[in-house]
Amino acid sequence: METKILSTSEYDIALAGEIIAKGGLVAFPTETVYGLGADALNENAVKSIYAAKGRPSDNPLIVHICEKEDIVPLVKEVTPKARALMDAFFPGPLTIILPKSDRVGNVVSGGLDTVAVRMPQNDIARRLIRAAGCPVAAPSANTSGLPSPTRAKYVIEDMNGKIDAIIDGGDCEFGVESTVITLAGDVPTILRPGAVTKEMIESVIGKTEVARAVLEGMKNDEVAASPGMKYKHYAPKAQVVIVDAEKEVYENFVNSRENAFALCFEGDNVTVDKVTYGRENDDLSQARELFDALRQLDEMGAKKVYARIPHTTGVGMAVYNRLIRAAAFKIIDLRKPFFIGLTGPTGAGKGYVSSRLAEMGFNILDADKYVKKIYDNNPGILNRLASEFGNDIIINGELDRKKLAQIAFSSKENTKRLNSIVHPEVISLCERDAKPLAVLDAPQLFEAGAADKCYKIISVIADYETRLRRITERDKITQEQAVSRMNAQFDESYYINNSDFVIYNNGEDIDSQIKKIMEEIL
Ligand code: TXA
Ligand code: MG
């Protein structure tokens, strides 16, 4: 079939209307995305929409009208809530679902007893519907499963040769499809978020729910409130993963990935290949550019894409809803603790494991070094220590460490007070310097309350005798001193019970244990 590319002239719109009236297919711009239109009351025409898109036949279509009153013959009843929403948002990016009248066939409704109706705002769309002289069934004009087209060139890519005509009306204003709300149940429920937000809807009709599947994946046995929710969607050829993180953490993460592409916001400090989708705090710009960005990534040949997460409020909910489907629900959560904790009792050989991990290329954060750093150049902390333990622990502005140790380790109470000042500072410095999945090497990991900052914890363990020998040799101290130091710590079972992995270090092969654990963690 030869597909005509039409302009928005009176002549071309009239021609397009005629094509639809005769049972043909025309793609046209709306304020949301391009639609693929056919006469909604002509079953055969509607069937050919499903064929052109490769769309499953149980996924119903939206019926587009050009005047508010055109909804009346399509539904059983225009309820008061429907009327209120129409008055507030028609014409505009909102689709309302109501029980259908007998005039609406089963092909359009995908076999359901409801129908989705929308009155677009876009002038070209309205002129076309008027010219066609019938309600126009129109899904987004993409091949099923691909991102919805926001520009005529993407419609041409997907539909050329499969439909009668495409009206080139420039870029779409909103860039994500309409908000879909059902009024067919007890409580109004948003099935698909769009530019008309939950907040805007609630200000008109009060309590409105959001279908669970909007922001999460569907469970295997769940029946879709909207059939469109169960299908793979908006998926580019690349594998997309959403990275849930603040700007800087995201930047560090994506910049450390090889051969990856970033799908980020304008102004993000990204050194790998990137495509942007709008500005950080501007959800409308994100909505407008998202689908275009996904298609660009394909054009650039991206295989793996790390996307920066949008906010989920306002129109951001629509952006997130599309992005999470493009990512097949894959999210890396870097807000959750992302250290790999490495700890163990004194003399077990944690230091050796840490140096092997460093040689294997892991980013190691040595808590002891940070403690030294704090003592050397953090006047705020030194002042707090002085007010806690007395001014004579500071000599000429410098910390007398021996003196501090004497006082601080003289009682459990004092040790606690020292730790409560130093540990939080160490953790926050480590967080500042950490690359994702950095190893936090901390002898006092548990004591410092850092365990819940760790994604996984590895403890290095060795037999009592081995540890005793190592400590006395390493630190040149007596057996007695070594024993008292060992007894001040948690016992071995504590480490084992509170760790995800244990490395045994009595002469066993360390590298193979590390490799196995790291493979599992990564
Ligand atoms: O902005 C839009 O709505 C665009 C433009 C072209 O108007 N159209 C659009 O249509 O996005 P489509 O077919 O790609 O998406 C329609 C969505 C699907 O998720 C479908 O399952 C749902 O609306 N839907 C349609 N009728 C329904 C019904 N009776 N009950 C539940 N969900 C329905
Ligand atoms: Mg669609």
pLDDT of residue 333: 81
- What token pair was written down for 32? 């949301």
| Ligand found nearest the CA of 229 | 1
Compute, in angstroms, the gap from residue 253 CA to the centroid of ligand 2.
32
- What token pair was written down for 80? 């008061």
Compute, in angstroms, the gap from residue 197 CA to the centroid of ligand 2.
19
- Cα 442 to chain centroid distance, Å, stands at 31
Please name every residue paired with 96 in a beta bridge, in sequence order, or none if there are none. 117, 181
Cβ atoms of residues 476 and 484 within 8 Å:
no
- What token pair was written down for 423? 């540990």
Pairing assessment for the beta strands 239-244 and 304-308 based on DSSP bridges: parallel
Question: Which atom from ligand 1 is nearest to the alpha carbon of 142?
Answer: 14
> Which residue among 32, 112, 128, 140 has the greatest number of ligand 1 atoms within 8 angstroms of its CB, and so is best to mutate?
140
Compute, in angstroms, the gap from residue 142 CA to the centroid of ligand 2.
7
How far is the CA of 494 from the CAs of 4, 218, 446, 450, 460, in angstroms? 74, 40, 10, 15, 12
Q: Is 142 in the pocket of ligand 1 (CB under 6 A)?
A: no
- What token pair was written down for 491? 């016992």
Cβ atoms of residues 192 and 180 within 8 Å:
yes
Compute, in angstroms, the gap from residue 425 CA to the centroid of ligand 2.
50
Cβ burial 124-155 (10 Å sphere, 16+ → b, else e): bbbbbbebbebbbbbbbbbbbebbbbbbbebb
Give the residue carrying structure tokens 């007010």. Answer: 387
Compute, in angstroms, the gap from residue 417 CA to the centroid of ligand 2.
60
> Which long-range contacts link 2-7 to residues 24+ away (Cβ below 8 Å)?
2/161, 3/156, 3/159, 3/160, 3/161, 3/162, 3/163, 3/164, 3/165, 3/166, 4/164, 4/165, 4/166, 5/152, 5/156, 5/165, 5/166, 5/168, 6/165, 6/166, 6/167, 6/168, 7/167, 7/168
Cβ atoms of residues 100 and 76 within 8 Å:
yes
Compute, in angstroms, the gap from residue 53 CA to the centroid of ligand 1.
14
Identify residue 145 by its one-letter amino acid code: G
Pairing assessment for the beta strands 35-39 and 136-137 based on DSSP bridges: antiparallel
Which residue owns the Cα nearest ligand 1 atom 20? 228
Identify residue 168 by its one-letter amino acid code: D
Q: Is 116 in the pocket of ligand 1 (CB under 6 A)?
A: yes
Which residue owns the Cα nearest ligand 1 atom 19? 228
Question: Which atom from ligand 1 is nearest to the alpha carbon of 138?
Answer: 6
Q: Is 189 in the pocket of ligand 1 (CB under 6 A)?
A: no
Which residue owns the Cα nearest ligand 1 atom 3? 178
pLDDT of residue 487: 87
Q: Is 33 in the pocket of ligand 1 (CB under 6 A)?
A: yes
Indicate the SS3 state at residue 52.
helix
Cβ atoms of residues 365 and 481 within 8 Å:
no
> Which residue among 166, 226, 288, 322 has the greatest number of ligand 1 atoms within 8 angstroms of its CB, and so is best to mutate?
226
Please name every residue paired with 501 in a beta bridge, in sequence order, or none if there are none. 458
Q: Residues, the chain, total?
A: 522
> Which residue among 50, 58, 61 has the greatest number of ligand 1 atoms within 8 angstroms of its CB, and so is best to mutate?
61
Cα angle: 495, vertex 498, 503; to 5 degrees: 50
User: Running DSSP on this structure, what letter comes out for residue 5?
Assistant: E
Cβ atoms of residues 283 and 319 within 8 Å:
yes
Q: Which residues of the chain have pLDDT under 50?
A: none
Question: Which atom from ligand 1 is nearest to the alpha carbon of 34?
Answer: 6
Q: Is 139 in the pocket of ligand 1 (CB under 6 A)?
A: yes
Give the residue carrying structure tokens 């400090």. Answer: 269
**Nearest CA to 405 among 396, 397, 413, 414?**
414
Contacts of 277 (CB under 8 A, 6+ apart): 263, 264, 265, 286, 289, 290, 292, 293
Q: Is 29 in the pocket of ligand 1 (CB under 6 A)?
A: no
**Rounded-to-integer distance, Cα 349 and Cα 352, Å:** 5
Q: Is 23 in the pocket of ligand 1 (CB under 6 A)?
A: no
Identify residue 300 by its one-letter amino acid code: M
Flag whether the pTM goes above 0.75.
no
Compute, in angstroms, the gap from residue 91 CA to the centroid of ligand 1.
16
pLDDT of residue 488: 83
Q: Is 99 in the pocket of ligand 1 (CB under 6 A)?
A: no
Phi, then psi, of 293 in degrees rounded to 5:
-65, -40
Which residue owns the Cα nearest ligand 1 atom 13? 139
Compute, in angstroms, the gap from residue 138 CA to the centroid of ligand 1.
8
Identify residue 329 by its one-letter amino acid code: F
Indicate the SS3 state at residue 306.
strand
Phi, then psi, of 363 in degrees rounded to 5:
-80, 110
User: Running DSSP on this structure, what letter comes out for residue 520?
Assistant: H
Question: Which atom from ligand 1 is nearest to the alpha carbon of 120?
Answer: 7
**Rounded-to-integer distance, Cα 79 and Cα 68, Å:** 13
Cβ atoms of residues 263 and 308 within 8 Å:
yes
**Rounded-to-integer distance, Cα 319 and Cα 147, Å:** 12
**Rounded-to-integer distance, Cα 500 and Cα 438, Å:** 16
For every residue of 207-267, DSSP letters joined together read --EE-GGGTSPPPTTPPPSSGGGGS--S--SSEEEEEES-HHHHHHHHHTSTT-EEEE-TT
C-alpha Rg value of the chain to the nearest Å: 31
| Ligand found nearest the CA of 194 | 1
Alpha helices in 240-366 (DSSP H): 247-255, 283-299, 316-326, 350-359
Compute, in angstroms, the gap from residue 334 CA to the centroid of ligand 2.
31
- What token pair was written down for 412? 């459990």
Give the residue carrying structure tokens 């008055």. Answer: 87
Cβ atoms of residues 436 and 334 within 8 Å:
yes
**Rounded-to-integer distance, Cα 30 and Cα 177, Å:** 9
Cβ burial 349-378 (10 Å sphere, 16+ → b, else e): bbbebbebbeeeebbbbbbeebbeebbeeb
Q: Is 91 in the pocket of ligand 1 (CB under 6 A)?
A: no
- Report the first-to-last Cα separation within the chain, whole angstroms: 50
Q: Is 115 in the pocket of ligand 1 (CB under 6 A)?
A: yes
